[in-house]
Amino acid sequence: MAKNKFHDGPGPSQRQLRVGELIRRSLSEVLARGDIHDPDLNRMSITVGEVRTSPDLKIATAYVLPLGGQGQDEVVQLLARNKGEIRRAIGKKLGLKFTPDLRFQLDQTFDQMDDTRRMLGQDAVRRDIDE
């Protein structure tokens, strides 16, 4: 039987969710205030949609998207280039005993929502839903 990516286990623990949300808020604040010493990064407005942590809390993956969707390829490169400074800023802000290694990925949820809306707007799908 093939594994479904949504049912591989019990899901994230409360601790993972709590730490992920703390990191998300801190990362958003650090980026909004321009605390990182990179003018290319500071000129961008970046939305941090979610941060997922590994079960051992050693890796945190931040799902990001530049405001307006412009510069998607550039934003992940800029964040990766500055991840050491970002990690230090978050660790200092949160006072965590161990600050996870940061990874950055584009947040695809907005594209998925658009695809879902488009699909639900199709006449054949609306007929099926209305029945």
- Secondary structure element (H or E) that encloses residue 63, with its range: strand 59-66
* CB within 8 Å of 2: residues ≥ 6 apart: none
pLDDT of residue 122: 64
Strand, helix or coil at 14? Answer: helix
Is 51 a domain residue?
yes
Range of the domain at 77: 14-130
The verdict on residue 7 lying in a domain is: no
Whether residue 23 lies inside any domain: the answer is: yes
Residue 44 lies in a domain: yes
* Phi and psi at residue 20, to the nearest 5°: -60, -45
| Segments of the chain with pLDDT less than 70 | 1-9, 110-122, 125-126, 128-129, 131
pLDDT reported for residue 131: 66
pTM comes to: 0.75
Count of domains observed in the chain = 1
CB 42 within 8 A of CB 2: no
Is 34 inside a domain boundary? yes
